[in-house]
Amino acid sequence: MILSILYVGVGSFFGGISRFLCSRLMNAYFGGAFPFGTFTVNMLGCLLIGLFYGLTENSLSPNLRLFLTVGFCGGFTTFSTFANESLQLFKTGNIWQFSLYAALSVFFGILAVYAGNLLSRIF
């Protein structure tokens, strides 16, 4: 159990740092009211978790699966930030951006998990 906790913790550490850097980069590049940083991180995280689960179904160890999925992807993606940014868009009257952000995040998130799983079959 302790080893599993360490795998998750180390993965979360790297996932959190990666989220911070990727989000900052996207927000600096695109800017504006739409939260491109969180959107990009969540979509990339969905693609990665689909890929990682697909790759680890038969060939990788359970500990590596914990590290990559629960740890890295869990630390990399952020539903709470998505929910808060959605609420802020709504509260500030950006109804169009709120609707677009919520709809695109859910639709493309599921699509990205599926695409990642398909990609895992290539490897």
pLDDT at 39: 96
Q: Residue written as tokens 């680890």? A: 56
pLDDT at 31: 87
pLDDT at 58: 74
- Here the tokens at position 75 are 């630390």
Name the residue ranges covered by the structural domains of the chain: 2-120
Question: What is the distance between the alpha carbons of residues 50 and 117, in angstroms, rounded to a whole number?
Answer: 4
Nearest to 76 by CA among 36, 31, 44, 103: 44
Full DSSP string of 46-96: HHHHHHHHHHHTTSS-HHHHIIIIIIIIHHH--HHHHHHHHHHHHHTT-HH
Per-residue pLDDT of the chain (123 residues; tens, 9 = 90+): 999 999 999 999 999 999 999 999 999 999 888 999 999 999 999 999 999 988 887 777 889 999 999 999 999 998 988 999 999 999 999 999 999 999 999 999 999 999 999 999 887
pTM of the model: 0.88
Nearest to 117 by CA among 68, 47, 37: 47
pLDDT at 43: 97
